[in-house]
Amino acid sequence: MADPIAAISFADPHVDPYGHLGLVWNPDGSVTRQFEHPKTPVSSYDGSPILLVKDVPINQSKNTGARIFLPKEALESFPGRKLPLLIYFHSGGFVIGSVATTGFDDFHRALATEVPFVIVSIEHRLAPEHRLPAAYEDCLEALHWIKNSQDEWLEKYADLSNSFLMGSSSGGNIAYHVGLSASSCVDDLKPLNIKGLILHQAFFGGKKRTESELRALNDKFIPPCVTDVLWELSLPLGADRDHEFSNPVLSIKPGQFDQIKALGWKILMAGYENDALFDRQFQIAKMLEGEGIPVVANFVEGGYHGIDAFEFPKTKVLCEVVKEFIISFVTTA
């Protein structure tokens, strides 16, 4: 098993939470990135018997793009049949990482190998250079790029009528907010037809500590002092952690979820009870259920934040949960 702390951290989070993320805070509010996390080049997939992988640009002026994964076995087993499309948003607290970051790419690789769908992982701009809602805007723009795309792989192999949004940690937050935006412009997104959202260990916050956050005060991986820094760097200037981007439970608007209900979307929420963010995720699940949204809750005992990226047996279980969720839509549609 890989050590998640050794894999991504640089300093004791309780002494220097910025350094723990590989950052130096500057007096003008900017950060200096001390270290570029290792990246997996797309060329590493050359000759793979399992996956076809490529990187494509989306908006070159913003340096956004996507990494596309095609499962060879599924394509060869069902020639001429298009596969469901899973649009994925990576983790990193809105501040670090990319689709090519090795830890994230390893998760992509496992997901694409275990789940027989076309996967498009989206590259978005990072905070604090580009604070929220920049990541939301980039990912919504990516949906429009997909629906207009003349990319050969998407045209030949992806069934846009069976599309799903999935994100891990901050990517789960993105999937939630982009999903809300997408539900209000479904006609503009056709032929892309989103069927559901998958929020995996989603990153939400708030000013008042929850019980799961208090239990994690001495956590060595992602204690609340580190998530506080991520929110400080990513939220709009002057906003606190009760902002709607961080704590949507406090910002429900009348009719906000009417379109999602009308579309028949379901939301899968997956996580672990020992995750410092568990209470936030559970609150979101209960809020959505209270608004009449069908929620499939898959919260497992134990674990920690990011476990599915570091422990392959857990990754395989998550992949099965995701696969069953998506197939239930495709087979009943």
pLDDT tens per residue across span 182-224: 999 999 999 999 999 999 999 999 999 999 999 999 988 899 9
85-107 pLDDT, tens digit per residue, is 999 999 999 999 999 999 899 99
- List the structure tokens of 250: 């406090």
Chain segment 54-83, per-residue pLDDT in tens: 999 999 999 999 999 999 988 887 788 899
Q: Helix, strand or coil for residue 146?
A: helix
Answer whether residue 227 is part of any domain. Answer: yes
Name residue 165's amino acid: L
Catalytic residue, from 108, 177, 200, 305: name it.
Answer: 305
- 58, part of any domain: yes
Give the total number of structural domains in the chain.
1
Mean local confidence (pLDDT), 21-48: 92
Choice among 105, 275, 279, 308 that is catalytic: 275
Q: Over pLDDT 90: what percentage of the chain? A: 85
Q: How confident is the prediction for the chain on average, in pLDDT?
A: 93
Residue 257 belongs to some domain of the structure:
yes
CA dist., res. 85 & res. 24, Å (int): 38
Taking the C-alpha atoms of residue 208 and residue 206, their distance in angstroms, rounded to an integer, is: 6
Name residues whose C-beta falls within 8 Å of residue 202's C-beta, 6 or more positions apart in sequence. 167, 169, 172, 173, 175, 176, 269, 271, 277, 280, 281, 284
Per-residue pLDDT at 7: 45
Residue 2 domain flag: no
Residue 106 is among the residues annotated as catalytic for this protein:
no
Q: How many CB atoms lie within 10 A of CB 153?
A: 18
Active site residue 28: no
The token pair at 259 is: 């379109």
3-class SS at 300? strand
Catalytic residue among 169, 170, 234, 246: 169
- pLDDT of res. 1: 36
Q: What is the pLDDT of residues 159-168, one digit of tens each?
A: 999 999 999 9
Is 20 annotated as catalytic?
no
The confidence band for 6, taking pLDDT boundaries of 50, 70 and 90, is: very low
Do 24 and 34 contact (CB within 8 A), yes or no?
yes
What is the CATH number for 144? 3.40.50.1820
CA nearest 325: which of 153, 165, 90, 173? 165
Please tell me the predicted confidence (pLDDT) of residue 253. 92
Domain span at 122: 37-331
Q: Is residue 319 part of a domain?
A: yes
The model's confidence at residue 329, banded by pLDDT at 50, 70 and 90, is confident
Specify which residues 67 forms β-bridges with: 55, 121
Residue 20 falls within a domain, yes or no? no
With contact defined as beta carbons under 8 Å apart, do 165 and 202 qualify? Answer: no
In a domain, 305, yes or no: yes
Half-sphere exposure of 138 (CA within 13 A, CB side): 29
CA–CA separation, 147 and 141 (whole Å)? 10
**229-239 pLDDT per residue, tens:** 999 999 999 99
31 located within any domain: no
Q: What is the DSSP string of 215-272?
A: HTTT-SSS-HHHHHHHHHHHSPTT--TTSTTT-GGGG--TTTTHHHHHHT-EEEEEEE
